[in-house]
Each structure stands twice: as C-alpha cells, then as structure tokens.
Structure 1
C-alpha cells in the first residue's frame, strides 16, 4: 500500500474548471477578490493535511471568431482574475506546512525574472513553493495581448521552454556555491566571491551572461510541475518535471499515460521520482442522497454554451458553428487550427482504431459539466474514499488534484470527511514539520496503517 498526495486546484478568479457554479448559494468562489476568502481556504487545507494549493493562471480568454466570447464575459467562464503569485505571500504567512504551486508561462518574460520571483517565494515560505510550467494557453488571445504577429507554433513553444527551464535552473542551482553566503557580523563578510559564479548561456531563444543576485533558498529550485499531454509535452515532462498532471479521461487511458511517462523518464535517465496526479471532482456529503442532490444541482447549471465557450478558449474551435452530426474532422478538412492550440483536446476526439470519432453533439454531451475537470466521484465519505483507492489502483496515479465545485465548502468536506478515512487506511504519509515541499512530495511511498 502506498501513500497518496492531495492538492486542490484553484484559480484567482470566479470559478474553477471551465464550468459554471459561482452563482450557487454554497459557493464562495465569486468572493475571489477578498483575501480573507483565500486565507480561510488555506487554513482549512493546512489543518486537514492537504499537500498543496495549486493555482492555474494565464493571460488568455476564450475567443469565438475574432473576438472575446460573450458567454465567457457574461458567465465568467475562464475570464477575469488576478495574478495568484502576488497572493501567495499572504497565504504562506497564515499556514505552516501547506505547499503552494503557481502557474507561470515560459516565453512571457526572461528566465531571470521568473527565477528571481520563485526564489523570493521559496524564501518567504521556507521551501514550500512549486512552479507549474506551461508553454501557453489560449494562444490566440495571448498573441493579440502581447502584440505578436501570430501564435508561436506548438513544437517551437516546447523548444523555447526547454531553454527557458534549463536557464532558470542554472540560476537556481549553479550561480551560488553552498557555502557562498556567509553573513558574518564579526568579520563583516556577506558572501565569498569565490562562491559566486557567472552564468553564461547562449541558446537559440535565450541568452544570459551575468550573476544571479538571489541567495540560495531552502529548495533552491522550486518543485517542478507540468501538465502537457502531447508527445512533446511528455518528453519535456520526462526531462524536467517532478510532478506531472495526467489528463483524466478513462482509468485505462490514464493508466497508459502514466506508464508512458514513467517509461520516458526512465529513457531520459531520471534518478528522481516522478509523481503523477490527475484532477478529481469529489462531491461528498454525510449521506449519498445529499451528495447526489448537490451533484444534480451543479449539473443543472451546465449548458452547451458553457461547454462550447471553454472548448473554444482551449482549442480555437467553436463547436456551436459546426454540423452537430459530423465529427471534428470537418474542421481539419477545412484547414482548421489543430497543431497550435489545445492539441490534446482536439486529438482525443478524432477517433482511434478502437473508438470511432464522436460527433460534435456527442462531444458537447461528454464535456457538459466536466470542462477541464478530471475524474468525478459523488457519494458519502466511505464511497468517495473507496472510489479514490479504486482510481489509484486502476491508474497507477500517485495522487489527485481536488477540483472544487462549490469552493471552500467542497475542500472542507473532503478534508473533514474523506481524508481521515484514507489516513486510517494508511494512504496518507505522516506529516513532517520543517520539511520542504519537495521532500514531502518525493518521500518514499509505503506507509504503515494507523493503529
């Protein structure tokens, strides 16, 4: 039996997962501008034993045609929000063990700017920060916002990310020797000159020649997360990521993706463990009937417009403009945008020898209420705990990223009702004070059941 890791997926905006739930009376996500809302959530997570709070982020938004989606604006679907990195220091001061992961896109700024920001967050938190590496999302909107002539091709973004991450790691890992920082009042020596090293990097996309001013932090390098599911994304993850978010479709498909990632990591000569996780929408209540009523209330809020808005933002394809009785091949036949945006969410619906391509109508039905969400469990505490263990066993995943439907209410319910059951079954690692985020996430999996 092995320990499972649990995070919570959030955005510094109206709602999570590209679905509609903020108007529900149980949800507090519309209060996202109030820092106290996030302090309450972080305290609940820290007390319950969650491993980390994860913030997705990006500059993009859904575009339909050549303009912002009206539905995205009206219903708050992947539109509106602040920079979560600026919120984290507040939450770090209010927690003692909770890890934090924030998304930052490669290619938006120079690696030295990102490296300095994450060094600062690692210092403030005492070694509890992670970086979710993304190469871009809603690239059509981002290209317009930043004044680019067009979208950067998918594989070029990964080539740029390779250099970006490699250079950032040079700053974190090579710029200061372990004994360089002295800070001795009696001698008046701040740092040893021999321990400060010039970073020289000359790549195709990034160049740097100079010294990194941020002293080493508890982790030096933030814990590296990544979620790319394309072949290029998996190769990148195998070389750099320490924790990978795997797309949750069916247990068998997810199991294949997990196995593929571990194979690629082995081929890349990785010596450090690779932790795999997937999204999980868990609607849990004291009784099954209560949980299913909550799930029904959420489902009744979802519409074709919500689904199509999210899908357009991710892929550049507006499903509502297509023949509902045809497949996505109608887009490819017309020279559509496949290859630059949301490749995994296009390719998954193109069909395989074992599964015919679904129609547009079937895609809308499949994605309704799911959005970018992963697996879904609904039930009482024991049913949900059983479901978590079954998913872990059938997929090989090391943990799950809880995707709240009703904000803090869902996180508190999972923490109060489900995590204690999993802890009693020996599925949670013992909490270790003063350990870094990396040490906690990478500790050996086997744990003894609580007696």
Structure 2
C-alpha cells in the first residue's frame, strides 16, 4: 500500500485551474491581494497536515487573434496576478511544517539570480522550499512581452532548461563545502577560503565563471518539481525532478505516463520509485453527498464555452471557437498550425489514438467545461472522496495529489478537516521523517538532494579553490 502525499495547487491570483469561480460567495480568492487570506489558508494546511502549498506562476496570458483574450480579462482566466515568491516569507513565519513550492521559469534570466533567490527562500523557510521548473506557458504572449522575435521552439526550451538546472545545481551543491562558513570570532575568519570552489561552466546556452556568494541553506538545493508530460517534459523529469506533476486525463492514460516516467528515470540511472509523481484533484467535499453535489452544480453554472476557449488558447495557442466545431484538432495540424510549440500534452490528448477517434472541437469544449487545466474530479461526502483518492492512486500508481480549490480556502479546509483524517486513519499518509520538505516527501532522513564530496582543487574538473 503506497504512502500518499497531498498538496494544494494555487496561484497568486483570482482563481485556479482556468475555470471561473471567483464571483461565488463561498470563494475568498477575490481577496487574493490580502496577505491575511493566504495566512488563513496556510495555517489550516499546517494544522491539518498537508505536505505543501504549490504556486503556479507565469508571465503570459491567453491570446486570440494576436491579442489578449477578452474573456481572459473579464472573467480573470489566467490573467492578473502577483509574484508568489514574495509571499512565501510571510507564510513561513505563520507555519511550522508546511512546505512551499514556487514556479519559476527557465530562460527568463541567468540561473545565478534564481539560485540566490531559492537559497534565500530555503533559509527563510528553514528548508521547506521547492522549485517547480517550467520552460514557459502562453509562449506567444511571453515572447511579445519580453521582446523576442519569435517563440523559442518547445524542445529547445527543454534543452535550455537542462543546462539551467545543471548550472543552478552547481551553485547550490558544489560552490561551498559544508564547513566553509566558520564564523571564527577569535581568529577573525568568517569564511574558510580553501573551502570555496570557483564555478566554471561553459554550456551552449549559459556560461558562468566565478564564486557563488550565498551560503548553503538547509536543503542546499530546493526540492525540484517539474510539470509536463510531453516527450521532452518526461525526459527532463526523469533526469532532474524529485516531484513530477502530471496532467491527469483518464486513469489509464495517467498510469501509462507514470510508468513511462519511472522507466525513463531508471534508464537515467535513478531509482524510479524515488520520484514523487502527483496529479491535480478537484475535490468538492461536504458533510453530505447532496451538499457536495449542490456545490458542484453551482460551480458548473459559472462555466461557459468562452471560458474554456480562453484557457485552452493560453495553454496551446489554439482558439477552439475559431475552428469548425464538427471537426477534430487535426484541422489545425493539417493547416500547419502551432501544434508542437505550446501545451503539447494538452493537444496530443485530443488527437486520438489507442484505437479511438479524435474528438471533435465541440466534444473538446464539452469535456473541458468546468475542468480547464484541472485534474481528476471527486464530488461527495468525506468517505466517498477518501475512497476515490485511494482508488485513483492504486489504479494510476500516483504518489499523491494536488488539491485544486474551486472555492478557495473553503475547499482547502473541507478536504483537510474531513478527508485527510480518514486517509491518515487508513495508514495512507506517512509521518514526516524530518523538518524539511525533502525529508517530508522522500521519507528519508537528510535534507540534501545528493551528498557532494568536494574534490581536491587539482582534480576538480571545472573547479578551483580561491587564489591565495
């Protein structure tokens, strides 16, 4: 029986998951700019035993006909939001055990400022920080915002991300020996210069020469997460990720993705069971099944084709409402459209395969209505939802789920207070092995991603001690 890990998927914005629910009276996400709203949520999560709060983030927005989607603006579909990294120190001071995972995009800057930012956050949280590595979203909008001549090709973004993570890890793991910071008042020595290593990195996309100035944090390297199930995304996860957030489709397809990622990790020389693979879960739980169903119907009434299309355009670059509703997405592929550069996993899932036909655009709109980028869906009382969580985990091989709130803090509290105790009573939620996020997720003592032995300066490839 597999241990399960439960997080919450959020954005520092008006609503989650590319669906529309900010206007519902139960939803406090409309107050997202107020830090006290997040403090209330984090305290509930800490008290009820969630593993971490996960923040998605990005600079882009849904576009249609070369400009921002009108629905994206009026309905707040993946538009408007703040930088979640700035919120973490506030929440860390208000919690004791809760971890925090923050999305940061590769390719937007050099790895050095990102490395220092996460070292700082790991210090401020006492080792409770993770980095969700993404190569970008809504790339058509991002390329314009950053003044790029064109979108960087999908697989090139992943090649750049591999170098980006490798260089950042060099800073975190190799730049300082464990005993470099001595703070010897009597000797007047703060740092032992012989215990620093000069970074020398010459990649195709990134280069660095010099010394990393941020002292090692409790975890050194933040827990590395990755989201994406394209071929390049799965290969990247297998090589680098400790936590993997996969797009939940059907249980059977999710099981295939989980198995494929674990296979690729084994081929990369890693223990495939060391990866924590998770999917999104929209869970509307109430004291009674009838109450949960009523909440689901109220949420569904807020959705529309326009909301679905705005979100899908932002993720894939494809405007579903501009297509023939009775034909499949192959009409875009046949016309030489943007397939392959944005949201590939969210396109390929609708192209047919495994002996089944590709759905029509009308069927895609109906299927995504109320779902957006959300994962699996469970609606019911606590016992029903707990049963569903266990069944999904056992059928797919997933290690856990990220709860995607429909009504903000209300949903986080309901799941934490009603469902988590049942899962804990069934022996599905492990006791944390230590205080850091890595220890909590891996179940093993020790905060380090990998123990690094500092080589002698004469034998260290690309490394050298400080000059005398």
TM-score per shorter chain, which class? over 0.9
The aligned counterpart of 2:461 is none
Partners of 1:212 and 1:204 in 2: CA distance: 21
The aligned counterpart of 2:99 is 99
Between the two proteins, the alignment pairs up a number of residues equal to 444
Partners of 1:381 and 1:11 in 2: CA distance: 25
The aligned counterpart of 1:447 is none
Q: Deviations over 1:38-64 (max 9, x none)?
A: 000000000000000000000000000
Measure how far apart 1:431 and its partner are.
4.0
For structure 2, the 5+ residue unaligned runs are: 445-468
Does the 8 Å CA contact 2:139/2:151 hold for their aligned counterparts? yes
Does the 8 Å CA contact 2:432/2:439 hold for their aligned counterparts? no
Q: Which moved more, 1:22-31 or 1:185-194?
A: 185-194
Does the 8 Å CA contact 1:49/1:431 hold for their aligned counterparts? no
Partners of 1:333 and 1:278 in 2: CA distance: 32
Partners of 1:339 and 1:252 in 2: CA distance: 23
Partners of 1:38 and 1:236 in 2: CA distance: 32
SS of structure 1 residue aligned to 2:60: coil
**Is 2:84 aligned against 1:84?**
yes
Does the 8 Å CA contact 2:432/2:443 hold for their aligned counterparts? no
Alignment of 1:7-26 (within 5 A): 7-26=7-26
**Is 2:342 aligned against 1:341?**
yes
Q: Deviations over 1:158-212 (max 9, x none)?
A: 1100100000000000000111110122222111111111000011100000000
Does the 8 Å CA contact 1:104/1:134 hold for their aligned counterparts? yes
Partners of 1:339 and 1:424 in 2: CA distance: 45
Measure how far apart 1:2 and its partner are.
2.6
Partners of 2:389 and 2:232 in 1: CA distance: 29
SS of structure 2 residue aligned to 1:401: strand
**Is 2:274 aligned against 1:262?**
no
Partners of 2:10 and 2:144 in 1: CA distance: 26
Q: Deviations over 1:248-298 (max 9, x none)?
A: 111111111111111000000014711110000000000000000000100
The aligned counterpart of 2:152 is 152
Alignment of 1:35-50 (within 5 A): 35-50=35-50
SS of structure 2 residue aligned to 1:378: strand
Does the 8 Å CA contact 2:330/2:351 hold for their aligned counterparts? yes
Partners of 1:354 and 1:381 in 2: CA distance: 37
The aligned counterpart of 1:289 is 290
Does the 8 Å CA contact 1:319/1:360 hold for their aligned counterparts? yes
Partners of 1:99 and 1:315 in 2: CA distance: 30
Q: Deviations over 1:383-415 (max 9, x none)?
A: 000000000110010100000000000000000
The aligned counterpart of 1:245 is 245
Measure how far apart 1:354 and its partner are.
1.6
The aligned counterpart of 2:306 is 305
RMSD: 1.1
